[in-house]
Amino acid sequence: MFSLIYFPDLEKSSEDEVKKTKENIFYLNKLNVNSSRRAFAITNPSQIFQEEENLNILVEGAAKNKVPSWLEDKIRNKQIKSINVNFPRWKDELTPLPKEWRINVFALGDVGSTLLIGLRLLGKNIDIGIYDRSPEKLKRWEYELNQIRIPFNEEVLPPVRPIEKEDLFDCDMFVFCASKSIPPLGKDHVDVRMVQFQDNRQILSEYAKIAREKEFKGIFALVSDPVDLLCKALYIDSNVDKDNKKDYLGLAPNQIIGFGLGVMNARACFYSERIKEFSSYIKEGAVFGPHGKGLIVADSIDNYNHKSSLALTEKTLNANLEIRAFGYKPYVAPSLSSGALSILACISKEYFYGSSFMGGVYMGAKMKLGPSGIEIPQYNFNKDLAQRLEETYKDLRSHI
């Protein structure tokens, strides 16, 4: 470990010892726990000197001070994990990522079951546990999923096993797919995701408390809508005691990842392939923000066109309404693009779109979970795009 702060209770090591280690090292800081992550991967020397976290997480910055060349090398190689020791359970961040992931999925409705099909077909080096409050549904999916086999290679797919409620957090990743109320077809002029917020938060709150009691150290993957606001609600509800006072003994902000933005990227790609005006997106574009109102689609990061980006954002936001107009609930693409495929990318240390804690809110962006924590690329944004990001960030802060 190294730090700009002196820690009298830690044994001192020489710079040479830290410099020569081949393993990841840890940078200890003290930031405001209300608006900062417990840990993250340092990708820029400026992050060693930052005094607060906000949208600067996404913006390229120059370091205030020069750092030694060996430190620059470790930053370049993603070998430094920043840890905020103001969190009571900061030492949990010293635990390495698992080599084989145990993934437990809760709620086997349309979204959960479709997500599980993706995990069963495409997952490698994973063990899948499933739970639902309906015993019949749990039995159905135990049988259905384990009867998916590759001819003459029948044992290659990951096993799926039913689990009890008390074992839900005996895993490396807990996937929450529960949803109390999905508005029926025909409710096309309401923000479906916001209608779900209060009801879904009620269900989620119970599991926030269980994760706290179990001192869960894994990733809490949130798939239910509205993803970004529920992530923040989960963080709040997990970190208060029985008297409703914050004590930060529950889930760390970076333990919670929202899986909702992947399908927005997929929908933008869909229109990019079909409409010439948006053709640059599939190779040059990116999505940011929430899965819903406030979404930001950039047609290109380096050659941003404001008008085209706004038009593509509108198309992407309304893609689910088009499916509903056909007479179907749009859950297949979200379950796979945001859910199964993004989860598998996450545990495989590959880039995916997800929502992570940024200065007090959960906001979607491209990211990667590596040995040194969550890594979020930084950009030199066009001024119009920067303004859109700021507006979305302020709007998310206003909700919870």
In this prediction, residues 68-95 reach a mean pLDDT of 96
Q: What backbone torsions phi and psi does residue 87 show, to the nearest 5 degrees?
A: -80, 130
Per DSSP, the three-state class of 128 is: strand
In this prediction, residues 181-198 reach a mean pLDDT of 65
What pLDDT does 235 receive?
98
Q: How confident is the model at residue 225 (pLDDT cuts 50, 70, 90)?
A: very high
Across 160-170, b (16+ Cβ under 10 Å) vs e yields beebeeeebbe
Task: Give the rounded percent of residues in the chain with a pLDDT score beyond 70.
Answer: 96
In this prediction, residues 356-367 reach a mean pLDDT of 97
What pLDDT does 185 receive?
57
In this prediction, residues 188-210 reach a mean pLDDT of 82
Question: Is residue 127 predicted with pLDDT exceeding 70?
Answer: yes
**Secondary structure (DSSP) of 280-323:** THHHH-EEES-SSTT-EEES-STT--HHHHHHHHHHHHTHHHHH
What pLDDT does 270 receive?
98
Question: Is residue 191 predicted with pLDDT exceeding 80?
Answer: no
In this prediction, residues 206-229 reach a mean pLDDT of 97
| Residue pair 75/45 in contact by the 8 Å Cβ criterion | yes
Q: How confident is the model at residue 192 (pLDDT cuts 50, 70, 90)?
A: low
What pLDDT does 400 receive?
72
* Look-up of token digits 């997990």: 238
Rounded to whole angstroms, the Cα distance separating 340 from 162 reads 18
The pLDDT tens digits for 327-357 are 999 999 999 999 999 999 999 999 999 999 9
Nearest to 276 by CA among 247, 311, 241: 311
Sketch out the chain's domains with CATH numbers. Answer: 2-94 (no CATH), 101-258 (3.40.50.720), 262-399 (3.90.110.10)
Alpha carbon 335 to its chain centroid, in Å, reads 15
Q: How many CB atoms lie within 10 A of CB 366?
A: 18
What pLDDT does 186 receive?
60
In this prediction, residues 111-118 reach a mean pLDDT of 98
Which H helix or E strand runs over 52? none
In this prediction, residues 82-94 reach a mean pLDDT of 97
What pLDDT does 184 receive?
62
What pLDDT does 181 receive?
62
- Cis omega (within 30 of 0) for bond into 183: no
Question: Is residue 189 predicted with pLDDT exceeding 60?
Answer: no
pTM, two decimals, is: 0.96
Question: Is residue 206 predicted with pLDDT exceeding 70?
Answer: yes
The residue ranges of DSSP E strands in 107-230, in sequence order, are 126-131, 160-162, 173-176, 219-222
What pLDDT does 61 receive?
84
